[in-house]
């Protein structure tokens, strides 16, 4: 089952902090980057987050998958 949720962030820092801290698969990937590549990634993601606008609140739609099983 596909679940659509909306994630609200107060700023780029609010969005990026869990990823930069190594949470989840993306965070683990980012944590494994060398310093230069991590800085480039941070800058690219910030540019995408801001999309030419000042930093501030943003809301993004996200899709999550859910399933249910029965243990016998």
Model pLDDT, residue 49: 97
pLDDT tens column, 8-61: 999 999 999 999 999 999 999 999 999 999 999 999 999 999 999 999 999 999
Model pLDDT, residue 4: 93
Burial of residue 30 (number of CB atoms within 10 Å: 0-12, 13-18, 19+): buried
């Amino acid at each position: 089952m596909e679940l659509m949720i909306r994630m609200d962030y107060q700023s780029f820092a609010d969005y990026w902090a869990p990823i930069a801290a190594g949470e989840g698969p993306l965070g683990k990937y980012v944590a494994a980057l060398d310093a230069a590549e991590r800085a480039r990634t941070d800058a690219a993601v910030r540019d995408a987050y801001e999309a030419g606008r000042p930093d501030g609140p943003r809301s993004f739609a996200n899709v999550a998958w859910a399933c249910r099983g029965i243990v016998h």
